[in-house]
Structure 1
Amino acid sequence: MKHLESWLVRFLDKPCRYLCLKDWHKKRLIDLTEAMVYKKHQELTKQSPAQADLVMRTLRALFNFAKSEYKSCDGSTLFPYNPVGILSDKRCWNNVARKQTRLRPSQLKPFLESVESVRNHAIEYREDFSVAVCDFVEFMLFTGLRKTELLELKWQDVYLGDELYIISRTKNGVALELPITEPLQPIFKRRLKYKMSDYVFGAENRLGRVIEPKKIVKKINEQAEVSFTLHDLRRTFCSIAENLRLGTYTLKRLMNHTTCRNDVTAGYTVLTAEELKSPAEIVCNKLKEYAGLIDKADDIAILKSQISRLSKEQKMELMAAIISG
């Protein structure tokens, strides 16, 4: 059970005390009963209904694995029943609805101004951890990456000369290659200046990286008078990208979402960081436009920038399409 909690701590990025599984550390899987599972789920629900369900879904998966893996000499399983089934029998699952919150276009300006203000104050007073968190929060907005995936980004996976970086440890287990867009360049330069470990968002602690940034996030919230969570930034990026009609496969790749196994086309669609740069820049520019960092009149400049990355053949094809249209 101690190994189960260790996995959950990494997956949820929460401290052990939050999951309250310490009293199960020395128990064998076979010793867990329906009554124990039911009681533990009720206790965890008081702290977080969503995470209570996640803990029990993971426990259910472990029991299902054990049922098939561990058998006696006569072939019968050593785990004949799954005690987590009691939650379905009693209809105790919380079934928390997916959140729909995000930053509105009008909130992006005060949000980014607050990030900049908190960061400048931290730089002045040598509060390196706060600087790292502000860089991390801004990075999340302009990429839509998951919290833990980004916090675990190492310098060995950053290629500044090629303007790309690789997220090696992802939720779906598939490495993700992404472009370094214009808003990310000053962040990487600053992180390099503040480098203190193998991690891009390094910190002086047992892991060598930022672990829990919520205190600084709270400060940004208060200054901006905007209430947001880190996952709201991911939903903001995704929503704006979808509105720009980038294409389903492009958006899925930027967000690192898996596609259905029966989607044959997805299996043949391989997008590199170079090919993702133009659509990623389009999303970043729209975010900057909403934040008042660039004028809408800069659309021509943005278009020129995008065209400059096309090959000669692609430019000729574009011109032909414009003339014929």
Structure 2
Amino acid sequence: MVAKRHTQLGIKSEAQANLSMRFLRALFNFASGQYEDSKGQTLIAENPVKRLTQTRAWYQVERCQSVIKQHELAPWFKAVMNIKNDSLGKNRETIRDYLLLVLFTGLRKEEAACLTWANVDLQNKILKVTDTKNYLDHTLPLSDFLFNLFQQRKASVVNEYVFSGSGGIGHITEQRKQMAKVIQESSVTFTIHDLRRTFIAIAESQDISTYSLKRLLNHKMNNDVTAGYIIKNVERLRDPMQKITSYLLKCIGLEPSAEIVILPTKKRTGQNIITLDV
């Protein structure tokens, strides 16, 4: 039954078929350790999803590597900033700010959506994510751009969530409609996780140290003895965070890509030299 269902799901999406069976495997593993008979023996002797491994039936799915390219960031940003509230949608700008936060922090989809004001410290310019994928609290410094974004959102707080849901209930859960508008207007196809991958790609291009990069992404440093001696001070991430933000803003066009220096030019006419100030 497991093998048959896996094949059926694979017709539509091989990646989704694998993911579904991983969930099922996790449920059986939990139940195997949780439920016992009167003699202390597990009620589930074997995980049926094991069959996929034994028969080498798992689909070989390449990991997605899509990102927003540098030349696409400007039209993407312009389209995002065109998301405005109106009489038909009063929560559109919340989705706009949510998309910007993910791009400028690399947070995962749910980590950003569930962010609460209790975990945003504007005085010290930091934010903290508590419900993370690896169960480790994730603290990040706010760049100047993000600090201004949070200040603007703070002026119109609806509930405990930074990105409140429609009607002020809970947090945002649906962004696809506004994302589709951005894709149509900018001609840049993207997913929420593409924004995280874009942040990672730019961070790597800025020669940020491996340890700082892993901490910015809240990746575990398993089996790394050196990492255990590094002091986890969020202030050490402030310069790398600002560096990534500045590069993004240059790609978007909000900051100059280089310092422009005006130099005098000289024009020779006969034996005379005329200096022109440009």
TM-score normalized by structure 1? 0.74
Aligned partner of residue 165 in structure 1, secondary structure? strand
Larger Rg: 2
Higher strand share: 2
Q: 1:229 to 1:145 in 2, by over 3 A?
A: same
Aligned to 1:141: 103
Relative to structure 1, is the Cα distance of residues 128 and 190 closer, same or farther in structure 2, using a 3 angstrom cutoff?
farther
SS in 2 for 1:296: coil
The equivalent residue for 2:256 is 295
Cα offset, 1:298, TM superposition: 4.7
Distance of 2:220 and 2:259 partners within structure 1 = 34
Alpha-carbon offset, residue 230 of structure 1: 1.2
Deviations 1:165-218 (A, max 9, x none): 101110000011111111112321232233222110001369611102111111
Q: What pairs with 1:115-264 in structure 2 (closer than 5 Å)?
A: 115-118=80-83, 122-123=84-85, 125=87, 127-204=89-166, 208-260=170-222, 262-264=223-225
1:284 correspondence with 2:249: no
Structure 1: how far apart are the matches of 2:150 and 2:33? 47
* Alignment CA distance shift 1:126-1:191 (3 Å): farther
Q: How far did residue 49 of structure 1 move?
A: 2.5
Tell me how far apart the structure 2 counterparts of residues 44 and 201 of structure 1 sit (CA, whole Å). Answer: 34
TM-aligned CA distance change 1:93 to 1:146, over 3 Å: same
| Amino acid across the alignment from 2:144 | E
> Structure 1 residues 124, 298: CA separation in 2 closer, same or farther (over 3 Å shift)?
farther
Verify the 8 A CA contact 1:197 1:203 in the aligned structure 2. no
In structure 2, relative to structure 1, the CA distance for the partners of 1:180 and 1:128 (3 Å cut) is farther
Q: How far is the alpha carbon of 1:69 from its aligned partner?
A: 4.6
Letter in 2 for 1:292: G
How far apart are the structure 1 equivalents of 2:30 and 2:172?
34
Of Structure 1 and Structure 2, the greater helix share is in 1
Match of 2:270 in 1: none
Q: 1:227 to 1:125 in 2, by over 3 A?
A: same
C-alpha distance in 2 between matches for 1:187 and 1:40? 46
Matched, 1:266 2:266: no
CA-CA distance at 1:73 after TM superposition: 4.7
The reply to whether residue 85 of structure 1 matches residue 50 of structure 2 is yes
1:128 partner SS: coil
Amino acid at match of 1:294: E
Identical positions, percent: 38
Contact 2:85 2:91 in 1 (8 A): no
Gaps of 5+ in 1: 1-34, 300-325
Of stretches 225-234 and 74-83 in structure 1, the one that deviates more from structure 2 is: 74-83
Q: How many angstroms apart in 1 are the aligned matches of 2:118 and 2:259?
A: 35
Q: Retained in 1: the 8 A contact 2:141–2:235? A: yes
TM-score by length of 2: 0.86
Whether the 8 Å contact between 1:196 and 1:204 is mirrored in structure 2 is no
- The alpha carbon displacement at 1:48 in A equals 3.5
Matched ranges for 1:66-81 at <5 A:
66-74=31-39, 76-81=41-46
Change (3 A) 1:271 1:92: same
